[in-house]
Every structure is written in C-alpha cells, then in structure tokens.
Structure 1
Amino acid sequence: MKYYYTLLFIVLSMLVQAQTSKGKIINSEGIAISDVYIQNIQNKSHAHSNYKGEFNLESSKIGDSISLFHKNFDEKRTVLSEVGIYTLIPKAVSLKEVVITNELNHLHEISKIDLKTNPVNSPQELLRIVPGLFIGQHAGGGKAEQIFLRGFDIDHGTDIAINVDGVPVNMVSHGHGQGYADLHFLQPETVDNVDFDKGSYFANKGNLATAGYVDFNTKERIKSDEVAIEIGQFNTQRIRGMFNLLSSDKESLYFSGSFLQTDSYFDSPQNFNRTNLFSKYTLYNETSKLSFSVFHFDSKWNASGQIPQRAVDQGIIGRFGAIDDTEGGNTSRSIVNMKHEKQLSENSSLKTNAYVSLYDFELYSNFTFFLEDPINGDQIRQKEKRTTFGLNSEFEKRTSIKNTPFNYQLGIGLRQDKVDDIELSHTANRVTTLQNIMLGDVNETNLSGYANTEFKFDKLILNAGLRYDYFKFDYYDKLSPTYSNEAVNKGILSPKLNFLYKHNDKLQLFLKSGKGFHSNDTRVNVANGGRKTLPASYGSDLGFVWKPTSKLIFNSAVWYLFLEQEFVYVGDAGIVEPSGKTARRGIDLGLRYQFTDWLFLNADYTYTDAKSTEEPSGNDYIPLAPKSTFMGSLSVIKNRFSGSFKSRYLGDRPANEDYSLTAKGYFVSDLNLNYTFKNFTAGILIENIFNTKWNETQFETESQLQGETSSVTEIHFTPGTPFNFRTVLSYKF
C-alpha cells in the first residue's frame, strides 16, 4: 500500500508539473502586445506572447506568481488567474527605465528615448536622429539631402545604407549619384521606431553600409484617427490625415496621406509640392504575422541652385537669388512591400520581406553657368526610370552549447535594379535638348548571404559574422555607334567580429570590428574593367556606455576606418574620379540627462580627422569631410505641454584637397512648442530662431558668369533657411 501511495504521489506531481497555463496580454486600449517575456517566479519556466498577445506557460498553474516584461511597458508582477487577461501600462518617458543591455547596437535604447523626447516633424529631420549625422538640402526640399557622417561627404547616400520596413531607400547606379537616398516618401507620423548604428560591423548589412546604417520601421496600428493642418511663412501649407480602417486582435489596417506646398525662402518662387500616400494592412494568427504596405509619393519643384560667392559680393544677386532659376525637377516613387514573420518554435523564427519599387526621376541643374557653353549656358538634365525587385529572409535560432546561450541567424538577400534610359544631357531652359552626353540602360543585381553568431558567457558576449555579396553590373551604352553592352561580375567576403562586456547594469564596454566595401556605380565598374570594383573597407570601434546615476547616461567611442579606394561616378559630368586610399579616425561623445520628470538634455559631439593616405601632407585633405560637429537639445514633456529647443553645429572644414578654400561652419537653433487640450493639439515650429546667416551646402566649383572673360574657382553655396515660422493644429477622434 505504501508503494501505491508513493506512486500516486509521483504521478500527481508530474501532472501538476505538466500543467500549462494560458493567457493573453493587452495594453490599456485592449490591443494585444507581442514579444512579452513571461516568467514563472517559482520555477523559472518562461514563455513569449505571440502576435495575438497570447502565451502558453508550461509547468504552471492558477495562483503561481509571474513576471511580465516588455521593453516599452512597465514590468508587472501578478499571479496566474482563471480569467487569464493581463494589462500592461506604457512606460513613462524616463531615463530611469533605460537599461544597459547586452545588445550589439549600443545606441538602441538611447535612440528610443531620443524619439520620445524629440519627435520629428519632417522627412529631413528623420535622419538627424543619428548622432553626428548632418544633412544639406540643395533644392529647397526637392532633391534627396546631402549627408555627412564620420568624415564622409556621403553625397546623397553613397556610404550609408537606409531602409524602411526592409525596403532599401538608396538607389544604386543613380542618374545623379551613387546611393541616392530620397527619403521624402516616408511620412514622419507613420514611423514607429528607428534602428541605427555606425560602422560596417553587422553581418546583415551589406552594400552602402560603410559609415553606418539607418533602419526605419512603420507603425502596425494607430491609436486614433487624426487630421492636421500646418501653415507657415513663404506660402507654406501642409495638410495630413491618418485613419484607422480596421483594428482587432486578428487584423489591422490604416491609411495616412499628406500634401505639402511651399514657395520657400528663395527670391524665385520654388513652386514646390509633394503628395504622400501610405497604407498598411497586418494579419495576425497564433504564430505568425503577415503585413502588406503601399507607399506612393510624387514631387515637383523649381530651384535656385548653388550660387557663386562672387555674384553675391558684387551685388549681382542676393543670398537667396539665382543665376539660373530654371533649375528644378520632378520625381515619384511607388512601393509595394510584403513582410511575413513566423514563430517556428519557442526558440526559432523566420522573417521574410519581398518588395517592388517603381521610380521616376528628372532633374535640371546648372553648376558652371556659362563655362562650357557661353551662348546657351551649361544646364544639364539627369533622368531615369527604374524598377527594383527585392527579397530578404532571415532564420533565427536561440539555443545553448554546454550551458552557454548561443544564438545564430542565417540570411539571404536578392536585389535587382533595372534602370531604363539613364541620361545625362546638355539642355537649355528645361525645354531644348542640345546634346546627349550619356544615355544607356543599367541592370545591377546583388545576391547576398550571411551567417551571424552570438555566444553569451557570464558577462561577455562574442559576436562573429560572415557576409558574402555577389554583384553583376551590366551597362548598355545607347550612344555608342556600335552595339556596346559591358558587364562585370564580382564577389566579396566581409567578416565581422565584435566583443561586448557588460560589467554590471551601469557599464558596458565594447570592441567592434569588421570589413566592408565601398559601393560603386555600375558605370564606374565597367569603365574600370572590373578593377577595384568592390574596394574593401576596414574599421573598428572601441567604446563604452555608462549610466552612473538613474538620470544620466554617457556613451563614447574612438574609431578608425580605412578604405582601399574611393572611385566616384560624377553624375553631373559623366566621368569617373578615383580618390585613392583614405583613412578616417575620430571620437564620438554622447550624453543624456534628465533634470526632472519633465526636462531632458541630449548632447552629442564628434571629432574626425579624414585624410588621403597617398597624397603629400598639406594636400591630403578630403573635401567637405566634417571635422567637429555638435547636436544638442532641451526637451520638455509635462502634462499637456511639450516642446524642444534644438541646436546643431558643423565646424569649418576643407572645401578642397589643400584646404585653400574653406567650407564655413554654422550654429543653428530650432524651436517647437505644443499644447494639447482634449482632442486638439496646437503647436508652433520655428527654424533658425535667431535668424543666423548660414550656408547649408558648399562646394569648390569652377564657373563662369555671363560677361566674364575667364572662369573663377571659388565657393558655391546654397543658403540655409532664414527665420521660418509655422503653426500646426491637429485633431484626434
């Protein structure tokens, strides 16, 4: 009998241990929360909520104590109940809640606080969230911005990879310049989070990710419908609306649209207008999530272009005048993107996205005025029509080896760009085509695969990755008197090795290193016969993240980057310029401080030394490479009131190789204030609040004005915005 009771006790114990408790986690609005970590406090069993917010917690029964944790919500401790529904409260904006994690991307948690304390109001500001990244607009909002980061004049995107929901923003082998990244199709109001980092240390980042990457993710749901109107100086108006069309635990659908028009602050009205449309549908089930999103934007503008300093000094034009006010252009882009995320098991998942993008571009510019053609002028047209297809897929597995946690990811990617009639022509008054300088078709294909591993020891994380990129560059020259179709194939291996040491919850040290490559235009590669098609880059970061108190966070890194070669396809002239070997080194410093529950300080400083290693000293400067930068803000978030005062500083930098010309620096401050009453929010936006006189873009250019007998090489610039006041009124319902 004794053995019978003993056996019965063992069976009952096994049954209790085998019990599984189910539940669902929601927010205060009843919307399911995925990726919540649920742990049984007694026996340490754990689970994650799926896309419907549901979970199955093994070896648990009603009454057991559990802990619910999610990075965006307050941690909750409760007990398993028969009802099985648990509500989490969103975290307040607080540095106290920022945890020094063991993530390879050491800026991830900081970037989330930055977004909350400094919400962006325009597509241009989306990129400024990256510490040390500066932008310059050449055409009042029409063209993609010029980007500066880590000692690079990135032009419009040559050395930074930008993505939205897995769709690449950069246009390879573009008519105006390699990597051209026009982000104006993305509405700031639809952005949910931003992931970014500097350097080429990540196996899942390949082409263009030399100085770093920026990934934007759009919202899956919106909390409420909203309409807004913005009115400002220079005949500026913007209207927008976001509408919730479906919202349940099984599916969601919303639409967002906006229209902007302005004449801008130039003497010649810019007649700029842009239309943005976006919709996203998401379908959920117990183990997967499927979403479809559609982007569309179109834009057209006139432009005053870059003007020579002598024309302003001589009183020929004012700072906001133009030598050729027939510059301008138009562009459009339509994107369809499908994303699928599948939870294969508790410890494995598969993520896939596939997209197609249709793109048109036409740009008229005049940089040299009457240097080449004293009669008709030197206006050029750059034009293309592009279709881009792509697919990315990543398998992730979490496991352990001899009790050491081990994660790995395996990924593949495909991107193909088919560009028809990519053109550079000499034109007059945007009407007459005087000469076709270059005309052809580009077909560029990039196949990629990578493996990324992560070993988690007690306090140390070892991350090792290997990436392979294969390219096929194909160019059909339509101006050749005989058939000319040239092709180049090339592949490159890019190893990565990173170490993170989490000393405690207040201090993390890291050493990142990796090989990447400088991205080149198809026309550069075929012109060079495949030589140095993918010149390698080698870089390393050594730094730390330190949180000495609950309200203060420091981050710092010293870094080095070497490039074997920097071939540049100059789209404005249709020529190839080799820049040789280069070396960049610098230091990044960051600070986040919370004075009170409602007052925040952000500050970032960078210093960079960028030089050509093959030129004699004194003639080895890299033109327009930023040296010193500073970005800072004071932000207020209190009850119904919010606002921020932002400043940015870009120091003097060389405009040419011997530093005989200087691109002058600037210090500019902006202000935004908002007040919410019931469902209404009223705000003001002021750019350049102190009406600083500054130049947004500057170049060393040789040009000749009408009536001049010889050319002059000097600084040409686009003036930065003067004091610019706008008001915004929005209503949520």
Structure 2
Amino acid sequence: MTDAASGQPLAGATVALVRAGAASERGAVTDLDGRFSLSRLDAGAYTLRATSVGYAAASRAFTLEAGETLRVDLALAPEATDLEAITVEGRSANLVGIASAASQGYVGQAQLTARPLLRVGEVLETIPGTIVTQHSGSGKANQFFLRGFNLDHGTDFAASLEGVPMNLPTHGHGQGYLDLNSLIPELIESVEFEKGPQNAAAGDFATAGRAQIRLVDRLDRGIAKGEAGADNHYEALVANSSDVGAGSVLYGVRARYYDGPWVNPENSALVSAVAKYTAGTAARGFSLTALGYRSDWDATDQIALRAVENGQVSRLGALDPSNGGETGRYTLVGEWQRGASGAARTRVRAYGAYYHLNLFSNFTYFLDNPTDGDQFEQVDRRAYGGASVTQEWFTRLFGRSSVHTIGAALRHDEIFQVGLFNTRDRQRLGTVRDDTVGETTLGAYVQNETRWTDKVRTTLGLRGDAFRFRVDSDLAANSGTETAFIASPKAGLAVGPWRGTEFYANAGLGFHSNDARGTVITVDPASGEAVDRVDPLVRTRGAEVGARTAVARGLQSTLALWTIALESELVFVGDAGGTEASDASLHYGVEVNNFYEAADWLDLSLDLAFTRSRFTEGDPGADRIENSIGRIVSGGVYAGRETGPLASVQVRHFGPRPLTGDGSIVSDATTLVNAKLGYRTRRLAVSLDVLNVLDSEDADVSYFYASRLPGEAAAGVEDVHVHPVLPRTARLTAVLRF
C-alpha cells in the first residue's frame, strides 16, 4: 500500500473490511478495534480513516456498489512529532495493538499521584506483582521482589532514569545494587516496564524485568509541597519550569528529615535535586539533565526474633545502634533525537556519574568477634559513564510494514574503592578486602518488528554483550583480568486483536553478570582458603504466553503464563549482608492484572501473581529458594476528579516465604493497607496519608541464620531475624500550584 499523495510506502499497515450500504445507509467496517472511522461522501463514495497512538492519521477514498465488500489495506505512518503531545495518565491506557507482550506496560503521573507512598521506591509497586520493602534504614536501597525472585537490592531487575542505568555492578553491598531514594515522584512522567528477558533492548540484570523511568520535560505550573507526619517526618519540595532561549528548564529540589518509629532514631536527612533543559520537539530536539542526591542515616537492621521474645529489645529496637550509612550520586546526561515522519528515527545519549557509599551493618552481633562485635563497613566509590545510540527505520519488508532497530551501548565503571572492613561503632578495626576495579561493557542488538497482516505481528531480535573485568586487589592472588561474551536471541508473536483482545507469545535468552571480584578470585580473603571462581556471565532463559483485552468498556486486563530459568541464582546471604552465586534455578507462574475505569471519577485495580521457585541442582530435599514469594495480591480503589474530594485505598499482600532450603522454616504472610484522603482545587491540594491503616505487626523482611547475643554459646543460635513493617502512621501534605 502506498500513500496516494506521495507515492511513498507507509509503515504500520493495518487492514479493514468495508461493506457498502444501501443508498440510505452509512456502510460498515469489520474488525473496527477502535482504530477506524468510515464517512459516506455521496452515493457509493466513502472515506476510511485510521488513527493510532504515535502515528499520523491516514485515510483512503474509494467507491463501492451497494452490498459490495472491499478489503482496504490502510497504513499508518509513525509521526514522532506528535509523540510529545501524548500523555500516559495511568494503567487505563489501551495497549492492545501497541504492546509486544502481555507483561509490558506503562504507568503515568496520575497513578503515582493517587498512591499513598511510604517510600519513594514504591513507585515500582505500580508494576503489577512487584513488592518493595526495606530491611534496614530508609537511606539504604530497597529490597525488591518480583516473579519469585528475592531481588535483594536490585539483582536481576534493571532500572534506568532518563536512560541512565541505575544498577551498579560489582557493588560494595550487592551485585546490581539499585538505589531509588533519589527519585522525586512528582517529577516522574512515566514508568515503562516489562518482565522477563525477551526484549533485545534488555541487557544486564533484566532477567526478572526492567523499568525505564522518565522525568517530565516541563511543568505547566510550579509546585510547592510541604509534608509533616509522625516520628519527625518532614518533607519539602519546590519545582517549576522556566523558558530559557529556545527551550525550557525544569528544576526541583526535594528535602526530607525522618526519625522513624524506631527506639534508635534514624536521624535520616536527604536532599535530591534535578535540573533539565529541553529544546526542540520529541522528533528533533535535545535535553541536558543534571541529577544530584545526598543522604545519611542511622539504621535499625533486622533483629533476632528471640531478642524480642525474651524482652531484650522491643520489636522496634536495635541490637547495634551504631549501624547506618551515607551515600550520594551525581549524574549528568544529554540526549539528542532526530526523526523523519514515516522514515527513520535516531536517538543518541551520553552520561557520566559519580557515586559513593559507606554502609555500616551488623547482622550476627557477636558471632565472629565476641569482644568487638561483628559490625562491618562496606565501601563503594566510583565514577561511571557511557553512551548509547538507537537507530530505527520504518520500511517495507516483503511488502509489509516493518520497523528495523539497531542499538548499541557502551559503559565503563571505574571503581576507585570497593572494600569490606571490620568495624566497631563505625571505627575501622581491620581490612577484609580492599580493591580497585574497572569494568567495561559493550552491548549491541538488532531487532525487527513486522506486521504481516492486520492480525499478526512478529518481533525478532539478537543481542550481544561483551565484558572486560580488571581487579587490583590488596591481595595479589585475587588480582587479574577477565573477559566474556554472550549472545542472546529473542522472539515474539502478537496475534489479534479480535474484539479488543490480543494474544502474545514471547521467548528469549538473557543473562546477568557476576561481581568482577569473583571472576578472578583464588583465595578467600577472610579464611585464606582456596576458592573457585564464578562465571563472569550467567545464562538466563525466559518464555511467556499471554493475552491482553479491552473488550469490556473501561476494563484493561492481562493474563501471563511465564517461566524463567537461571544457570546460577544470585541469592542474598543474611549473615554476610551481600549476594553470592548459587545453584541453577527455575521460576514459573501466572499473573492476572486488571485495571477498571468504572467512571470518570472511579478507578479500581486488582493484580494477582502466583509463582513456584526451586533450585534445580544440589540436594532435592533443600531446593527451596529462600525468600521467594509464591503469592502476591495487590489492589486499590481511587475516587476523585481533577478538582474536589479524593480518596484512595491500596492493599498489598505477599504470602509466606521459605526461609530455609528444606522449607522447614517459613515466614508469615504480610498484609498492609494504606489510604489517602484529600481535597483539590486547581491551585491547592491537601491530603492525609494513613499508612498501615490496620496497624499490622507483620514483617517487611524475614531471614533465618545464626547469630550470637551477649551471653550465648560461641556457636550462636539459628533464629529468624525480622525487620517489622512500620506501625500505623499519618502524614499531612499540602501542595500549592503556582
């Protein structure tokens, strides 16, 4: 099919069957699917018009005799210049005919605003089936759970902010460390997410899924926000936009102080800032963004349950009040885009960042050092940067609408210090290891998406990733270099839609990298014993079949049956406070997600995820993956319009988790209810968040390992260690738009 005006081929072809009516009838379109409209110009003369998100409208005029049927191959040309006008308000956006997988989705600012948030990291809980918790002070990266994975602080889940990868490899506290505390929720435009490793654009750490977080380019009105609540919670935000030259500047600063309900106050202080200059359009423009974040805190880590039961501490008490940390990250990113409607699109991005962390923890108390205690310090100081380029061509392949994509990304982490030290009251007593690391990654992919018919789309991709690790250790035996390469093919099929329902099948290979230090290690730095090296890159495999439907007015539903296999699971070691490579594993499950816009003032959601996770190697009697969640149920109700009263209730439940490989020790389930009540005018909004409405005493996180309290036997006691959910608390917020 070609455009009658230009004679050039159009992309995004779609098909309609048009039946002419009698002289007094308008005519009919079969397989409407919400994208076609038919106009009758005169007797026997018609115009068919097609529209879709992200494409220029296309039309075709033709004549038909009464009762005749014509197949019309009408095409839609991608129109990048219109993308800047598209606003994803929330999960109500209809992705039928757009998404390439059932578990792919978008979340907009409207939904983020509606949720009562305990922690800023909970913006990822808008991804169905995701749990975001904490097992330490609020300045530390969150604990994440998705698809049966205990993701620790980000392992096997990749996230980016303004296109900059946020996961940190070979990190002092855990591989793929993901700290989201720098986010300013009010400035997030959207969260684009997908689960599994089936997308060719997904690289390291994206086995369970990935999220791309984008900031708004500008604010229609400035924001001045003040928030106060129990436990000395104070927060302020000022943000606005100003026209500068041919573009505009977005700027904002968020500050927070928080003690928490803990017996040992957190004394947590945080400052986060953003400045973003944007010029041009989404098709031909550029942006330059600066991000800054600084935080320090005192921490109440997970505590031994026996210490609570014997009255040594309360459930909100601390067994080592000197735990805590300080961290910061400072980033500069530039993005440049060029596009021609219906022809090609280019995006180039470059970034640089500096990051630091000093983290003090004590999970075993006096097990290893009966005199000074087991506190340790984990240090990470690095500069990292990189660049990426993506090129898309909108063409015809065998006469069919097709999009070809080539992408490449280069990243280097120069880690000036990644160390582990024995400490007491944050004073160093000795060095376990102290290393300098250089890690370079080059990834590239090709992908083709072709619409073969109006009901069949395919996506085929191939990704390759090369790594180079360099470790300079304080122990010469643990120094060295290592290189690795891995190729990952991907494939996807979308069939439909029929009556607003589309079906998907996706499969692909992926990977995660291991800590660079483990790829060259020969000697355990603590015991001096010989140890085996880990594989630099670990193969993962994912597959998913599912469906997405919008057949009922206002209701968006998805169903996904999925499986993910890993040649080596990265697991959290509770007594060491880090991650280590373990045995091969298999995760599989089912997800059912529903979002219902019942009225223009009422939204309902219900998401269900059921998972089975097992190690597939080692002792079959100890094949449980510790802290793998088998059941997650979340849902909510939001009532309100742009102005006037508003109310929101969110329920989050995650089921019991095995704490030992044989499943003999299991945590309790955790259920939380959060609520928001408020009133909005066009300039002023006032709301009250009530967190943990039912005052649950469940645990955010539970572990089982050996620790030693004063007076106990030298071998310690194996016990459950918990970090409790916060008691019921209230926060009052006022937001002025100016």
- Superposition TM-score tier, normalisation by shorter sequence: 0.7 to 0.9
**Does the 8 A contact of 1:351 with 1:394 survive in 2?**
yes
**Distance in 1 (alpha carbons) for counterparts of 2:335 and 2:228:** 36
CA contact (8 A) 1:555 1:591 kept: yes
Query: What amino acid does structure 1 have at the position aligned with 2:732?
Result: T
- The reply on whether 1:472 has 2:477 as its aligned counterpart is no
Aligned partner of 1:187 in structure 2 is 184
Partner of 1:688: 692
C-alpha distance after superposition, 1:507-533 (max 9, x if no partner): 111111000113211112222776632
Q: Which residue of structure 1 aligns with residue 357 of structure 2?
A: 361
CA 150–47 in structure 1, closer or farther in 2 if over 3 Å, else same: closer
Residues 480-537 of structure 1 show CA distances to partners (whole Å, capped at 9, x for unaligned) of 2x58631110000000011111132411111110001132111122227766321211
Matched, 1:283 2:279: yes
Matches within 5 A, 1:217-296: 217-246=214-243, 250-284=246-280, 288-296=284-292
Q: 1:267 to 1:275 in 2, by over 3 A?
A: same
Offset of 1:594 from its aligned partner?
Answer: 2.8
Aligned equivalent of 2:394: 398
Shift of the alpha carbon at 1:71?
Answer: 10
**Offset, 1:217:** 0.6
The residue aligned with 1:503 is 497
Q: What is the CA–CA distance in structure 2 between the aligned matches of 1:138 and 1:187, rounded to whole Å?
A: 22
**Counterpart secondary structure, 1:268:** coil
- The equivalent of 1:523 in structure 2 is 517
1:648-697 deviation digits (Å, cap 9, x = unpaired): 00100101101121122111100012211341110111110111111111
- The answer to whether residue 548 in structure 2 is matched with residue 548 in structure 1 is no
- 3-state SS, counterpart of residue 189 of structure 1: helix
> C-alpha separation between the residues in 1 aligned to 2:183 and 2:579?
32
Q: Percent identity?
A: 28
2:508 corresponds to 1:514: yes
Q: Structure 2 stretches of 5 or more lacking a match?
A: 9-52, 63-73, 523-531
The 5-angstrom pairing of residues 10-159 of structure 1 reads 37-39=56-58, 42=61, 95=92, 98=94, 100-107=96-103, 111-112=107-108, 115=111, 118-119=114-115, 121=117, 122-159=119-156
Question: Match of 2:374, SS?
Answer: coil
In structure 1, the partner of 2:380 is 384
Q: Secondary structure, in 3 states, of the residue corresponding to 1:127?
A: helix
Residues 1:568 and 1:644: Cα distance change in structure 2 (over 3 Å): closer
Larger relative contact order (CA 8 Å, sep ≥ 6) = 2
For 1:324, the equivalent position in structure 2 comes to 320
The CA deviation string for residues 430-474 of structure 1, in whole angstroms up to 9 with x for no partner, is 12x111001011111110110011111111111110000000111
For the pair 1:583 / 2:583, whether they are aligned, the reply is no
Query: Offset at 1:193?
Result: 0.8
Distance 1:614 1:646, change over 3 A: same
Q: Relative to 1, partners in 2 of residues 1:299 and 1:576: Cα closer, same or farther, differing over 3 Å?
A: closer
* Aligned with 1:204 (options 179, 201, 220): 201
Shift of 1:640: 1.8
Structure 1's 377 and 531: CA in aligned 2 closer, same or farther, altered over 3 A? closer
Aligned-partner residue type, residue 517 of structure 2? R
Among 682, 702, 708, the alignment partner of 2:706 is: 702
> What's the counterpart of residue 735 of structure 2?
730
1:176–1:572 Cα contact (<8 Å) kept: no
- Which of 415, 431, 441 is matched with 1:446 structurally? 441
Structure-2 separation of matches of 1:349 and 1:197: 22
Whether the aligned pair in 1 keeps the contact of 2:105 and 2:193 (CA below 8 Å) is: no
User: How far apart in 1 are the matches of 2:105 and 2:285?
Assistant: 25
Aligned to 1:215: 212
What are the superposed Cα offsets for residues 158-206 of structure 1, whole Å, 9 maximum, x if unpaired?
Answer: 1001101110111110000000000111211110011101100010110
Change in CA separation of 1:321 and 1:407 when aligned onto 2, cut-off 3 Å = same
Q: What secondary structure is seen at the aligned counterpart in 1 of 2:568?
A: coil
2:661 is equivalent to residue 642 of structure 1: no
**CA–CA distance in structure 2, aligned partners of residues 184 and 226 of structure 1:** 20
Deviates more, 1:395-404 or 1:278-287: 278-287
Equivalent position amino acid for 1:485 in 2: S
Deviations 1:350-375 (A, max 9, x none): 11111001001000000100011111
Instruction: Indicate if the aligned counterparts of 2:250 and 2:277 stay in contact, CA closer than 8 A.
Output: yes
8 Å contact kept, 1:268–1:322: yes
**SS where residue 518 of structure 2 aligns?**
helix
Q: TM-score, normalised by structure 2?
A: 0.86
Q: Is the CA contact (8 Å cut-off) linking 1:177 and 1:570 kept in structure 2?
A: no
Residue identity opposite 1:662 in structure 2: V
Q: Is the 8 A contact 1:455 1:461 kept in 2?
A: yes
Of the three residues 605, 608, 620, the one matched with 2:608 is 605
The equivalent position to 1:593 in structure 2, one of 591, 596, 601, is 596
Q: Secondary structure at the match of 2:307?
A: helix
SS of residue paired to 2:622 = coil
1:492 matched to which residue of 2? 486
- CA drift of 1:37 comes to 2.3
Paired AA for residue 201 in structure 2: N
> How big is each residue's C-alpha offset from its partner over 1:611-653, in whole Å with a ceiling of 9 and x where there is no partner?
1112344311000001011010011123422231000001001
Letter in 2 for 1:623: E
2:19 alignment counterpart: none
2: distance between equivalents of 1:546 and 1:438? Answer: 54
**Superposed counterparts of 1:299-338, under 5 Å:** 299-338=295-334
Q: Quick one: which of 716, 719, 724 aligns to 2:721? A: 716
In 2 relative to 1, CA 505–221 (structure 1 residues): closer, same or farther, beyond 3 Å? Answer: farther
Q: CA 1:550–1:287 in 2, change beyond 3 Å: closer, same or farther?
A: closer
Of the three residues 672, 677, 683, the one matched with 2:681 is 677
Q: Is the 8 A contact 1:199 1:211 kept in 2?
A: yes
Report the CA distance between 1:579 and its aligned residue.
Answer: 1.7
One-letter code of the match for 1:714?
D
Matching residue within 440, 451, 459 for 1:456:
451
Whichever residue aligns with residue 258 of structure 1, its letter is R
Q: TM-score, normalised by structure 1?
A: 0.86
For residue 330 of structure 2, give the secondary structure of its aligned residue in structure 1: strand
Would the alpha carbon gap of residues 72 and 287 (structure 1) be closer, same or farther in structure 2, given more than 3 Å must change? closer
**RMSD of the alignment, in Å?**
2.6
Note if 1:350 corresponds to 2:346.
yes
Name 1:56's counterpart in structure 2: none
Counterparts of 1:558 and 1:180 in 2: how far apart (Å)? 28
2-structure distance, mates of 1:354, 1:475:
26
Where 1:542 maps in the other structure, the secondary structure is strand
- CA deviation vs aligned residue, 1:31-81 (integer Å, no higher than 9, x gap): xxx956244565979766665x6xxxxxxxxxxxxxxxx7976xxxxxxxx
Counterparts of 1:428 and 1:464 in 2: how far apart (Å)?
Answer: 55
Looking at structure 2, the residues matched to 449 and 191 of structure 1 have their Cα atoms a distance apart, in angstroms, of 28
Q: Rate the CA distance shift 1:440–1:403 in 2: closer, same or farther, 3 A.
A: same
Q: Give, in whole Å, the separation in 2 of the partners of 1:125 and 1:325.
A: 26
Letter in 2 for 1:535: V
**1:435 is matched by which residue type in structure 2?**
G
Q: Secondary structure of the residue that 1:234 maps to in structure 2?
A: coil
Greater Cα shift, 557-566 or 115-124: 115-124
Deviations 1:306-364 (A, max 9, x none): 10000000000000001101000000000000011111564101111110010010000
